[in-house]
């Protein structure tokens, strides 16, 4: 555990703001089905005693009970993954939501056997597996569902501040022709448009009930599906890292894939 004064965090749209006071437990990466659905890739969480969380701006904070005894906190305005609550007396928070670097490191990984087929927890790129011709996708609560042509092919990891805030760690997505998306249910889909320019000026789609990250649409119209939204195998492979100059300070990239400091 480490201790650092004046640590603050917020969601992507700024509606939710919080401060952390007291010792912090280092980061654990979870590869379980529920965390991958919720974040769009994998979920990273550090922890602090409940009394050390000052939720001074609750804003659009919403909670979804994903399993007995577990609640996930997200911003209903922008879909950012923020908190995970289970054990009484402790709050787990997404380090990607922090506004400045903190004295944190990765202490371990859990549910590695549930990792997506397009990456490995060890960091080494996996071999390409089976290539499904159709990818069924859904949110964590199941209210949103859609299908896209498969396989996913090249999957890109993005470490920009927008993707870090939205996912709580970093994003992973693959390109799809939006006209080919076959929606089975979209009544609970919400969109957030981040004002700005360049890569971060994207429309981000998420489920307003459970907060699951689903897709983003770039200013040029290109459409990217979050890899964690796929229900089974993607048939894809992590191919590159973008915006690594903005990545979190608590992790290193060890897979030897191409890295781009800024936008592709």
- Give pLDDT tens digits for 184-232: 999 999 999 987 644 457 899 999 999 999 999 988 889 999 999 999 9
- Predicted confidence at residue 262, as pLDDT, reads 74
Domain positions in the chain are 2-109, 120-246
Distance of CA 227 to the CA centre of its chain: 10
Q: Low-confidence residues of the chain, pLDDT below 70?
A: 1-6, 87, 124-129, 196-200, 263-264
- Predicted confidence at residue 220, as pLDDT, reads 87
| pTM exceeds 0.85 for this model | yes
Note whether 236 and 174 are within 8 A (CB): yes
**The pair of three-digit structure tokens given for residue 142, joined into one six-digit string:** 């199941």
- Domain 2-109 matches domain 120-246 at the CATH topology level: yes
Residue 220: burial class (beta carbons within 10 Å; 0-12, 13-18, 19+): exposed
DSSP string of the chain? -EE-SSEEEE-SSSS-EEEE-SEEEEEEEE-SHHHHHHHSS-EEEEEEEGGGEEEEE-TTEEEEEEETTEEEEEETTT--EEEEE-STTEEEE-GGGBSS--S--EEEEE-GGG--TT--TTSSPPPP----SEEEEE-SSSS-EEEEES---EEEEE-SHHHHHHHSS-EEEEEE-GGG-EEEE-TTEEEEE--SSGGG--EEEEETTT--EEEEE-TTS-EEEEGGGBSS----EEEEEE-GGG--TT----S---B-SS--
Identify the residue whose tokens are 């080494």.
124
Domain 2-109: assigned CATH number: 2.170.150.70
- Please give the class, per CATH, of domain 120-246: mainly beta
- Predicted confidence at residue 43, as pLDDT, reads 95
């Amino acid at each position: 555990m480490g201790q650092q004064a004046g640590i603050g965090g917020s969601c992507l749209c700024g509606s939710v703001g919080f401060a952390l006071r007291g010792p912090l437990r280092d980061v654990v990466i979870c590869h379980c089905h529920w965390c991958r659905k919720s974040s769009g890739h994998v979920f990273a969480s550090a922890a602090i005693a409940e009394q050390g969380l000052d939720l001074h701006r609750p804003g659009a904070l919403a909670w979804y009970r994903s399993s007995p005894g577990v609640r996930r906190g997200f911003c209903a305005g922008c879909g950012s993954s923020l908190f995970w609550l289970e054990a009484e007396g402790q709050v787990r928070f997404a380090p990607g939501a922090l506004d400045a670097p903190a004295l944190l490191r990765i202490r371990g990984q859990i549910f590695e056997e549930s990792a997506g087929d397009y990456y490995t927890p060890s960091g080494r790129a996996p071999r390409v597996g089976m290539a499904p011709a159709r990818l069924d996708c859904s949110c964590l609560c199941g209210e949103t569902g859609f299908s896209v042509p498969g396989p996913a092919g090249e999957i890109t990891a993005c470490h920009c501040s927008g993707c870090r805030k939205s996912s709580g760690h970093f994003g992973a997505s693959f390109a799809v022709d939006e006209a080919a998306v076959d929606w089975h249910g979209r009544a609970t889909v919400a969109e957030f448009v981040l004002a700005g320019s360049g890569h971060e000026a994207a429309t981000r789609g998420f489920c307003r009930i459970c907060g699951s990250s689903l897709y983003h649409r770039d200013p040029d119209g290109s459409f990217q599906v979050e890899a964690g939204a796929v229900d089974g195998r993607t048939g894809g492979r992590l191919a590159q890292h973008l915006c690594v100059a903005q990545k979190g300070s608590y992790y290193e990239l060890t897979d030897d894939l191409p890295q781009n400091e800024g936008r592709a």
